[in-house]
A and B are shown apart, each in its own frame.
Chain A
Amino acid sequence: MKKTKNKVLSVNSLSIRRSERWLFRNLNFELQSGQIIQVVGHNGCGKTSLLRTLCGLLLPAEGDYIWQGEDEYTPAYPMFIGHLTAVKPELSVFENLSLHPLAENFASEEAIIKAIAEVNLGNYMDTPARYLSAGQTRRVGLARLLLSTSSCWVLDEPFTALDVQGCRWLEGKIDEFINQGGAVLLTSHQPVTLRNSLDILDLDDLNSSKSNKDKVA
């Protein structure tokens, strides 16, 4: 178990704009290993945009962010799970995991079989993913968390479509990952009950501190 706290991500005066509207401006925070940050805020306040920006899918309007890799030469790949599950309906559950690259690599066969068993899809190993329910599809996506070697998970609404046991299981997994020195950045509308302490990043606070004059008419 790693106990040293090192910075995983630092965000410096980040601002995100969608076309003419500023979602938020001047956001500063740091994410350290062993830390969980839950991003909260009302619908449309920019939670998803924030996570997508940090993963490099959107460009920030101002400011920057830095992922700290193992050393300065290895890039850090945050493990991103978004609203969309990225599960191909034509491929079987096993193929969905074995032919999907994670941080420039493919998982080994044994690891995949183990991961599928753990998300309770052992009987669906060779079933095409289009026969799965929404919750089961979500589980296939989450099984990638078990296969990833990343030191940071970025989860956008990971509890969507999961049943109660699934939510408990995911919370347990997050706890386990944190205890191993991982870092988690997540958004969720439902309260997350974890054994580890949880830091809240409220985007509404950030927005209410400034007046509406920033909005371009």
Chain B
Amino acid sequence: MFFKLLKRELLRHWRCRQDLINPLVFFLITVSLFPLAVTPEGQMLQLMGNGVIWVAAMLASLLSLDTMYRDDYHDGTLELLLLQSGSPYTVVFVKILSHWLTTGLPLVLVSPILSVMMQMNDEAIKAQMLTLLIGTPVLSLIGSVGMGLTVGLRQGGVLLSLLVLPLYIPILIFGASAVSAASMGLEYIGQLGLLGAFLMGSISLVPLASVAAIKVSIR
């Protein structure tokens, strides 16, 4: 069940590749505009680089949430999946996992290139990748609850941001602070640990909340 559903989701994403590339291009462009707009000076870039990359990753993830449930809701697949699969939690979990695999993971993989562009040092680049690796799944997980709640609305975009962004803030704070600690040569294991706790907490609670949210939307 799990793998068939996952195959289905990944195949779907693969067939509409522009949706897949969209958040990645957004991420690349936003970050690479900063040196042009502010200053190409190394010290300045180093100072703000980690924050800029984290904010851009967060917004790119927010931008791509729409692909998670919207289409399935409109062609009636979502209700049938919840009805017929036997376990709605598996369905939701697979959706979140495939969303992360198609948007979060690419962001993690390209982030070192941008970190180099922002003139960050080796330790900071490593920390950037690690925090994004732990942080982006949390973004997908929390986003799925917000998306589940707003999927039935015709114009849910603003509401989605209002619902989801406040919950993204802690991830942003700890993610960016870990990177700046690393760039100064300090320990950042504490922030990573907190991000990990966020991840574990949301993995265990989000499927429950998402299923409940989608059921509200379908009714």
Contacts and interface: CB of A to CB of B under 8 A. Distances in A.
Interface of A: 55-59, 77, 80, 82-91, 95, 99-104, 106, 128
Interface string B80-114: 11011111000000000000000000000000000
A80 B77 contact: no
Most buried by A among B15, B74, B81: B15
Contacts of B219: 57-59
A131 B71 CA distance: 17
Interface stretch (B4-12, B28-36, B146-154): B4-12
A73 to B, nearest CB: 14
Contacts, number: 70
B76 A103 contact: no
The list of the 3 closest CB pairs from A to B, nearest first, reads A84-B76, A104-B86, A90-B15
B81 A90 contact: no
B79 A57 contact: yes
Contacts of A104: 1, 84-87
Given A77-B83, A80-B80, A86-B76, A101 B15 contact: no
Contacts of B83: 55-57, 77, 80
B85 A101 contact: yes
B87 to A, nearest CB: 8
Contact of B15 (A82, A87, A91, A106): A91
B218 interface: yes
B16 interface: yes
Contact of A88 (B1, B5, B75, B85): B75
B38 to A, nearest CB: 40
B98 to A, nearest CB: 12
A88 B4 contact: no
19 contacts: A80-B84, A83-B76, A84-B75, A85-B75, A86-B79, A88-B71, A88-B77, A89-B75, A90-B15, A90-B16, A91-B11, A95-B8, A99-B4, A101-B4, A101-B5, A101-B85, A101-B86, A102-B84, A104-B1
B1 to A, nearest CB: 7
Given A57-B219, A104-B1, A106-B4, A99 B86 contact: no
A99 B76 contact: no
Contacts of B87: 104
